[in-house]
């Protein structure tokens, strides 16, 4: 039996943004709604969820990503607005929107193209960059939560420069997921 690692490719956010989003989660928690909130240290922008990957495949993934991402220059992304997938009436996820530079779409495409030859299927849905704050267990106290979210719906939160992409490991523990960096790929300075 081959060993696998649950992994994904992400852009990790700055400590400043982490603190800001952590504040927002604290405010939203006051609704008493039935949510599983993302722990502040786990907040990130997922580029691609890989699922369980065989350990021996990791080297090929690292090489593929390194080749695909070298030559990309760093770029800025900004965070604005808050919303729900698929919508506010039947929400499953609360997210912070990411105003995507074309560069982000390009990086996403490069990642997809680099992994495809390794047997990792391309995403069927179109890429809609976001930062997940929490997932709904039920719609209990949904109205209260939606009211609290209203002032944040169009709020501009801040921006950051993206100069590295991370291959992350996800361990599912009793107390929730724990993420750690397997490898980082820097863009050219």
User: Which tens digits make up the pLDDT trace of 49-95?
Assistant: 999 999 999 999 999 999 988 878 889 999 999 999 998 888 999 99
Q: Report whether pLDDT(1) > 60.
A: no
- Catalytic hit among 100, 130, 134, 167: 130
Percent of the chain at pLDDT exceeding 70: 97
Answer yes or no: 175 catalytic. no
User: Which tens digits make up the pLDDT trace of 22-43?
Assistant: 999 999 999 999 999 999 999 9
User: Which tens digits make up the pLDDT trace of 117-143?
Assistant: 999 999 998 898 999 999 999 999 999
Instruction: Quote the tokens at residue 55.
Output: 């350990």
- Catalytic hit among 38, 44, 68, 96: 44
Containing domain of residue 61, as a range? 4-186
Q: What is the 3-state secondary structure (H, E, C) of 30-51?
A: CCCCCEEECCHHHCEEEEEEEE
Indicate the number of domains in the chain. 1
Answer yes or no: 44 catalytic. yes
């Amino acid at each position: 039996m081959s060993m696998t690692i649950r992994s994904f490719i992400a852009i990790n956010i700055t400590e400043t943004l982490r603190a800001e989003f952590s504040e927002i989660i604290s405010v939203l928690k006051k609704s008493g709604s039935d949510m599983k909130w993302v722990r502040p240290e786990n907040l990130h922008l997922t580029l691609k969820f890989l699922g369980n990957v065989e350990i021996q495949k990791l080297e090929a993934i690292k090489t593929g990503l390194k080749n695909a991402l070298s030559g990309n220059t760093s770029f800025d992304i900004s965070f604005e607005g808050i919303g729900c997938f698929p919508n506010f009436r039947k929400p499953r996820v609360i997210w912070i929107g990411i105003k995507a530079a074309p560069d982000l779409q390009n990086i996403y495409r490069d990642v997809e193209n680099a992994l495809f030859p390794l047997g990792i299927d391309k995403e069927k849905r179109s890429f809609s960059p976001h930062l997940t704050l929490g997932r709904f267990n039920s719609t209990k106290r949904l109205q209260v939560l939606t009211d609290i979210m209203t002032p944040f719906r169009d709020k501009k939160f801040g921006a950051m420069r993206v100069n590295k992409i991370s291959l992350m490991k996800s361990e599912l523990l009793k107390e929730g997921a724990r993420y750690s960096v397997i490898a980082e790929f820097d863009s050219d300075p």
